[in-house]
Amino acid sequence: MPVSSTTLANHLLQQQTLHRGLTHELSQIIGHIALTGKVIGRELTEAALHGALGLTGETNVQGEAVQKLDERANELFVQTFEGQGGVVRAIVSEEMDKPCEVGGHAGARPGEHALFLDPLDGSSNLDANMTVGSIFSIHRVQGHVQPDVETELLKRGRDQVAAGYVLYGPATVLVYTCGAGVYQFTLDRGIGEFVLSGSRLKMPARGKVYSANESNYAKWPRGVQRFVDYLRDKDAATGRPYASRYSGCLVADVHRFLTGGGVYLYPGEISKPEGKLRLMYEAAPLGFIIEQAGGLASTGTERIGDILPTAVHQRIPLIIGSHEDVGKAEEFIQDRQ
Ligand code: AHM
Ligand code: MG
């Protein structure tokens, strides 16, 4: 027996009557993201059969090698929203240097939202058939579009109207929040629908697992090193040492902690204090989800949601997960020993 028979479409209709923030337009956008996620999930399962794995030979605006499927996932999102006649006004994506303005149908009211995307997070996992995901963040944009669209799109994480991700693992899972709890859906391939598999998710205040690329240990500031040393120390009273799990896919690691508690960190390095991850389409949306589930997202000194971006592709150090674990990391990082 399925645990639920509520599809994403039905859930969004129900929620629109309960939560004013979930407008019809926002529901439509989430629906189109879900549809694109289904298509990406399907293409991922067969990519190796069609020669669609591997690198394009290009580097993106971040200076990182682009996988063919990075490009394909981006194309699928852009095509979906261009085909929907301007339900979003602009798309910012890890795979596009500049924001893409989405034109509306002739005479149609311009969309009131901007969509921020990491179309395929963790794509270096693809060749090894490991988990990847798509991350999205949605902001309301009002007034006229300025010629310099980018400035208009620099919004704080706390002002997001919705955020979420699609995770392509053993199951394809969609998680979203629009500020009224975190909901999870699992793709039922038989009927082609996302079906509700978790409501108002809450994470434990403390976990037993941490996630970091420890090969960078020597490059980290002392406070980060001391925090990770603390997690590895033996202390039965506080459940240490924590176990270590690092998948190479941020959204997969954060999903683990959303369900079981724990802490993910990708800190800045002494010679690269801004870190690796992107604020507007990685840290901020996952921060919104995790805070809604009772956790925290921080740079170590500042709440992620409070940061006013200076560029759409800005990088930021990220520590995200259970409330007490992130709080402990902040203690170590802010203690100038
Ligand atoms: P991507 O969006 O280009 O895939 O980069 C983000 C990824 C995260 O998913 C992951 O946690 C991290 O980068 C892995 O980086 P590293 O290989 O330095 O550990
Ligand atoms: Mg990413």
pLDDT along the chain (337 residues), means of 10: 83 93 94 98 91 83 84 96 86 93 72 95 93 97 67 94 97 97 97 97 97 98 98 96 98 97 98 97 98 98 98 97 98 88
Give 59 Cα–ligand 2 centroid separation in angstroms.
14
Q: Which two tokens stand for residue 124?
A: 């270096």
Q: Which CATH class is domain 209-334?
A: alpha beta
Report DSSP state, residue 270.
T
- Residue 237: the pLDDT is 94
Give 27 Cα–ligand 1 centroid separation in angstroms.
29
Give 249 Cα–ligand 1 centroid separation in angstroms.
6
pLDDT tens digits for range 214-225: 999 999 999 999
Report DSSP state, residue 66.
E
- Residue 148: the pLDDT is 61
Q: Which two tokens stand for residue 273?
A: 């204090």
- Residue 145: the pLDDT is 57
pLDDT tens digits for range 250-291: 999 999 999 999 999 999 999 999 999 999 999 999 999 999
Residues 204 and 197: their CA atoms lie apart, in Å, by 18
From the CA of 267, the nearest ligand is 1
- Residue 106: the pLDDT is 64
Residues 74 and 76: their CA atoms lie apart, in Å, by 5
- Residue 4: the pLDDT is 78
- Residue 60: the pLDDT is 76
Q: Which helix (H) or strand (E) holds 73?
A: helix 68-82
Which atom of ligand 1 has the smallest separation from the CA of 277? 6
- Residue 146: the pLDDT is 62
Q: Which two tokens stand for residue 53?
A: 């794995």
- Residue 9: the pLDDT is 97
Residues 119 and 93: their CA atoms lie apart, in Å, by 7
CATH topology of domain 8-198: Fructose-1,6-Bisphosphatase; Chain A, domain 1 (3.30.540)
Place of tokens 């079906």: 195
Residues 237 and 285: their CA atoms lie apart, in Å, by 33
Residues touching ligand 1 (Cβ under 6 Å) are 64, 94, 118, 121-123, 213, 248-250, 276
Q: How far apart are the first and last CA of the chain?
A: 56
Give 282 Cα–ligand 2 centroid separation in angstroms.
6
Residue ranges per structural domain of the chain: 8-198, 209-334
Q: Is the pTM of this model over 0.85?
A: yes
The residue whose CA is least distant from atom 12 of ligand 1 is 248
